[in-house]
Structure 1
Amino acid sequence: MAIRLEKGQRINLEKSNGSKLENICVGVNWGAIKKKNWLGFTTTEAVDLDASCAQFDANGNVIDKVWFRHLKSNDGAIKHSGDDLTGDTDGDDGLDNEVITVNLNQLNPKTEKIAFVLNSFRGHDFKTIPFASIRIYEGTPTKVKEIFATYDIANDPTFAGNVSMVMGVFYKRNGEWKFNAIGEPTKDRDFESTLQTVKQRYL
């Protein structure tokens, strides 16, 4: 059963049978914003959320970054499904709009932490974005095998007034990977500034 993540919660990355997880997906789902104009007609406003991540070494130095301008890490272990510029336009289809896949066995051996962040590219306030949520699971961008954790952005009032957040950090301890669910909004406006906040506060 999936864990509904609480801020600051830490989870072990194990399958239900106790074996270690090798392939992890971090998926983000959201919708376009529906508005009524002065004539009473409903219009659709595209929402561009960007899921991104960065690999860090033991000293907190960035090894590599995966985002919409660099969809695959140099070691081949992390892949981004591609940039979704609109969100779901006809309600929640149950699928993630952007997925970052991590093969833990292929990571650059210097990688000790992987931080995941989310930015609202056009500056849409998180509180206005329909059914925005995050989930961590085993599988692929098109097939979910087992969900490990979910995080509900849309119904968390602390995100109001913000356009960036730190989703969480995968970290290696005693040779095993774990996940720290941070789930904190930041006052940053873009990916690079959010990474600086990660380095200052969450590593």
Structure 2
Amino acid sequence: MAISLSKGQRISLEKNGGSLKHIEIGANWGAIEKKTLFGGKKHVAVDLDASVGLFDAQGSLVDTVWYGQLKSKCGAIQHSGDDRQGDTGGDDGLDNEVIKINLDSLPANVDKLALVLNSYSQQKFDAIPFAGIRIHDGAASGPDGVFATFDVAHDASFNGSVSMILGSVYRHESGWKFRSIGATIAEKDLKGSLKAFAENYA
């Protein structure tokens, strides 16, 4: 059964006593549904962007994986590409954007990964019907391999915001841990979001 994370919770990325070597972090969200003049419904596309910043132990940004750079320079992280729509008709059980991470292949100087979510179209999070992340202990091909989930839609602290720091993957002893942060920030783009992470969470 998947772990349902709350803000500030930390979990070890291991299963059956062994460290996970490969995880996939999927961002999932819904398009906004609005009523039309004559009682019908229409969907308004929601363009959220999930991105990862790679930081060293001193808190300096080493690399960034986002829709403009789908693969890290070290080759250990791969982004599935930009989803500009969101799910229509409810959650289809699949992730809209997926970030694949080979933990064993990350360079020794990479100490932590920052996972951030930005609303490219500047639609505020409280207007989006659902949004969350899933951590998969393998391929993000469906709900069966979900290791942990973090719901970021049903929290009043997200109201009025267009950027948030979802969490971080960080080295701990010989393995890795995940920290669910869920912090909204005033910044409105990726560059500002990673700067906020470096100042407060790196």
What's the TM-score bracket when you normalise by the shorter of the two chains? over 0.9
Residue 44 of structure 1: how far off its partner (Å): 1.2
Q: Which residue of 1 aligns with 2:6?
A: 6
Q: 2:96 and 2:187 mapped to 1: Cα distance?
A: 22
- Residue 83 of structure 1 is matched in structure 2 by 82
TM-score (norm 2): 0.96
Percent identity of equivalent pairs: 50
Between the aligned partners of 1:90 and 1:143, the Cα distance in structure 2 is 17
Q: Deviations over 1:66-90 (max 9, x none)?
A: 0000000011100101100000123
Aligned partner of 2:10: which letter? R
Counterparts in 2 of 1:21-170, with a 5 A limit? 21-143=20-142, 146-170=145-169
After superposition, the CA RMSD in angstroms is: 1.2
- CA distance in structure 1 between the partners assigned to 2:11 and 2:67 by the alignment: 27
Show CA shifts across 1:21-61 (max 9, x none).
00011111111111012332211100000000011111111
CA contact (8 A) 1:138 1:145 kept: no
**CA drift at 1:144:** 5.3
For structure 1, list consecutive stretches of 5 or more residues without a partner in the other structure. Answer: none
Q: What is the DSSP-based 3-state SS (H/G/I as helix, E as strand, rest coil) of the residue aligned with 1:35?
A: strand
1: distance between equivalents of 2:14 and 2:58?
26
- Larger mean CA deviation between 169-178 and 45-54 belongs to 169-178
Q: CA deviation at 1:141?
A: 3.2
- Does the residue aligned with 1:123 lie in a helix, a strand or coil? coil
The number of aligned residues is: 202
The answer to whether the Cα contact below 8 Å between 1:138 and 1:144 also exists between their aligned partners in 2 is: no
Normalized against structure 1, the TM-score is what?
0.95
Q: Which whole-Å CA distance do the structure 2 matches of 1:134 and 1:179 have between them? A: 12
Unmatched 5+ residue regions in structure 2? none
Distance 1:132 1:114 in 2: 20
Distance across 2 between alignment mates of 1:154 and 1:8: 16
What SS does structure 2 have at the residue aligned with 1:69? coil
Q: CA deviation at 1:159?
A: 0.7
Bigger drift between 146-155 and 118-127 goes to 146-155
Residue 50 of structure 2 contacts residue 97 of structure 2 at CA under 8 Å; is this kept in 1? yes
How far apart in 2 are the matches of 1:37 and 1:147? Answer: 37
Alpha-carbon deviation of 1:7?
0.9
